[in-house]
Amino acid sequence: MGATPAPPPSGRPRPPRPEPAVGAPCRLGAPRTGAPLRVLELFAGIGGAAAAVGGRAPIVAAIDVDPWARAVYTAWFPAHPWVARNLAHPRARLPEAELWWLSPPCQPYTVRGARRDVDDPRAAPLHALIARIGAGEGPEALALENVPGFAGSRSEAALCAALATAGYETRSFALCATACGVPMERRRYYRVAARGGLRPPARPRPQPQALGALLDPLPAPETAVDAATEARFGHSFHRVDPADPTAVLACFTAAYGRSPVYAGSYLGAPGGPVRRLSADEGLRVFGFPAHCRFPAGLPPRQPWGLLGNSLAVAAARVVLASFAPFDDGADTVRGVDVASLAVGLATPGDRRAALALRDADPSAHGPPADGAAAKVAAEALLAPGPAGPVWRVADCFGLVGLARGDGGLLLHPGAADPASAAAVRAALRAAGAPA
Ligand SMILES: C[S@@+](CC[C@H](N)C(=O)[O-])C[C@H]1O[C@@H](n2cnc3c(N)ncnc32)[C@H](O)[C@@H]1O
C-alpha cells in the first residue's frame, strides 16, 4: 500500500470541478495535424484508460459513480477532473471531447451476471450513451472495452446500429493481454469507431515480461493463505510458479481475495506453500505506472474489487493505436510486408496463399516493414496452435485476411473495398486456401 491517505469517500457526489480550457477539435482518422485531442473517460474506475493514454492527450473528465474508485483515481491522476455523475441519466452532462473511452459494466454479459444483456439495469448507462451516439451527439471517435460475452449481445447490436446511423467506421476485435507480453490472461472485447476513419488494424508489439520481475521481493503478510482454506480449496487453485519465466496468471476478477477459487491465480513453487498476489503486485501486472499504489485506508477487499474491474494497460494502448494521434508505432506492428511473412510460413500451401494475397493487390501493403517487425509478426503468426495452420478467409475487422485454425490472423489492410476483396478471395481460392 502507498503512504498517501485516501480521501474519505462520501456517499454524496461532489460538484464537478470546472472543465479545463480546451483547444479546437481534430479529426482522428487523418494524419496528426497538431490539433489537441481531448479524451473523456466514461466508467473511469481507477483509470486504466488514463494510464494507457499516459499523458499523450488531455483527459477532460473521468466520469464514474463509485466513491472508492474516485478516492484511488484522484490520488493517482490529480490533474484529471473527476465527475461523479450517473451516466444512466439520458441527459447527463458530458464535457466536450473528441475521443470517448467507455468501459461499461460487464455483468450484463457474463455468466456470473446471468447474461441478461439489455434487460439488466446495469446496461442502462451504456444504452443512454448509445442513444446519444445514434442521435449524432457522439464524439469524433470512441473505444469500448468489455468482456468477450459482449460480442453477439443485443447491446452490441444496438451500438453497431447507432454507429452506422451516425456514419462511423467501426470494427471490433478480441485481444488478450498475453498478446502484448503481459504474464496474465485477460481476454477482452474491444470496439473502436471513428467518423474520420480508423487506422488499419495492427498486431500488438509484444513486450514480454517475466512474472517474477513484477512481484515484491518480500511478500506482504496479508498475501498468505491460511491452512484451512488451502486444505479445502487448494486442489482447485490455479497455481503458478513465480520462478518460471513463462508463467502466466489466470484472469483476475473483482472477487479475488474474497472468492477462494476461479477469481485469479495463486503463487507457489511446486510442492511449496502458496500465497495470493497483493493488490500492488496486481497493479504492476496490469501495467499501471509505478506511482500507482493503492492508498492506505481502503477497506481490505476494495483494492482487488477495483483492480479486477480494470484494464490491462498494454492492451488498451494497442486499442488506442486505432486512432492516428496515438499510433506512434510503439505498441503495434503494422505494414508488415506479406512476402516477408511468407518466407517463414510452414507449408508450401501457406506460402502460396500468402503470396497470392500479396499479388492480388501489391500496392496495398505500404512500405516494407523492417526485418525485426516482420520477424515479430511472423513469430506471432506461426505460434503453434492446437488446430494447425488451417487457412480460411476472414472478414473480421471489415477487412479481408487469412485466418488460421489456431487463431493466427494475417490481415490484408488494403482489401476493404468490395472489388479488392473479391480479387483477394479469388486469388486465395486459386492458391488452394479453403474459403
Ligand atoms: C468495468 S468498470 C470500469 C473500470 C475502469 N475501466 C478501470 O480501469 O478501472 C465499470 C465502472 O462503471 C461504473 N458505473 C457503473 N454504473 C455507472 C453509472 N450508471 N454511471 C457512471 N458510472 C457507472 C462503476 O462504478 C465502475 O467503476
- Correct CATH for 211-287 of 1.10.10.60, 3.40.50.200, 3.90.120.10, 3.40.640.10: 3.90.120.10
Does the beta carbon of 324 sit less than 6 angstroms from any atom of ligand 1? no
d(CA 62, CA 254): 21
Measured over the CA atoms of residue 194, residue 196, residue 202 and residue 204, the dihedral's sign is: negative
pLDDT tens across 264-294, in order?
Answer: 999 999 989 999 999 999 999 999 999 999 9
Architecture of the 39-207+312-326 domain:
3-Layer(aba) Sandwich (3.40)
**Low-confidence spans in the chain with pLDDT less than 50:** 1-34, 335-348, 350-351, 357-417, 420, 434-435
Q: Is the dihedral of CA 80, 85, 86, 89 positive or negative?
A: negative
Q: How far apart are CA 318 and CA 181, in angstroms?
A: 12
CA-nearest residue for atom 25, ligand 1, is 66
| pLDDT attached to residue 345 | 42
User: Is the Cβ atom of 46 under 6 angstroms away from ligand 1?
Assistant: yes
User: What is the C-alpha to C-alpha distance for residues 403 and 241, in angstroms, rounded to an integer?
Assistant: 33
Q: Give the integer Cα–Cα distance in Å for 102 and 337.
A: 33
Q: Is 125 in the pocket of ligand 1 (CB under 6 A)?
A: yes
Provide the pLDDT for residue 207: 84
Q: Please report the pLDDT score of residue 423 as a whole number.
A: 54
Long-range contacts of 11-14 (CB under 8 A, 24+ apart): 11/67, 13/65, 13/84, 13/85, 14/82, 14/84
Task: Give Cα 158 to chain centroid, integer Å.
Answer: 21
Q: Is 86 in the pocket of ligand 1 (CB under 6 A)?
A: yes
- The atom of ligand 1 lying closest to the CA of 64 is 22
Ligand 1 atom at minimum distance from 51 CA: 8
In the three-class reduction of DSSP (H, G, I as helix; E, B as strand; rest coil), residue 424 is classed as helix
In this prediction, residue 114 carries a pLDDT of 87
Among 294, 258, 290, 297, which Cα is nearest to 276's? 258
DSSP code per residue over 290-357: TT--PPBTS-TTHHHHHHTTS--HHHHHHHHTTSGGG--SSSEE----HHHHHHH-SSHHHHHHHHHH
Which amino acid is located at 16 in the chain? P
Q: How far is the CA of 153 from the centre of ligand 1 (A)?
A: 19
Q: What is the pLDDT of residue 111?
A: 86
Given the CA of residue 106, which atom of ligand 1 is nearest to it?
A: 1
160 lines ligand 1 (CB under 6 A): no
d(CA 162, CA 136): 9
Question: Would you state the pLDDT for residue 272?
Answer: 92
Q: Which one-letter amino acid corresponds to residue 396?
A: C
pLDDT digits (tens, 9 = 90+) for 296-346: 999 999 999 999 999 999 999 999 999 989 988 888 865 444 433 433 344
* Residue-wise burial string across 394-419, b where 16 or more C-beta atoms lie within 10 A, e elsewhere: beebebbbbbbebebbbbbbbbbeee
Q: What are the structural domain ranges in the chain?
A: 39-207+312-326, 211-287, 335-430
Counting ligand 1 atoms within 8 A of each CB, the residue from 74, 309, 310, 311 with the most, and so the one to mutate, is 309
Whether the CB of 427 sits within 6 Å of ligand 1: no
Q: What is the pLDDT of residue 428?
A: 52
Q: Which pLDDT value is given to residue 52?
A: 98
Q: Ligand 1: does its nearest atom lie under 6 Å from the Cβ of 311?
A: yes
108 Cα: distance to centroid of ligand 1 (angstroms):
13
Protein residue closest via CA to atom 11 of ligand 1: 43
* Cβ 81 under 6 angstroms from ligand 1: no
Centroid of chain to Cα 92:
26
Residues in the chain, total: 435
pLDDT of residue 197: 86
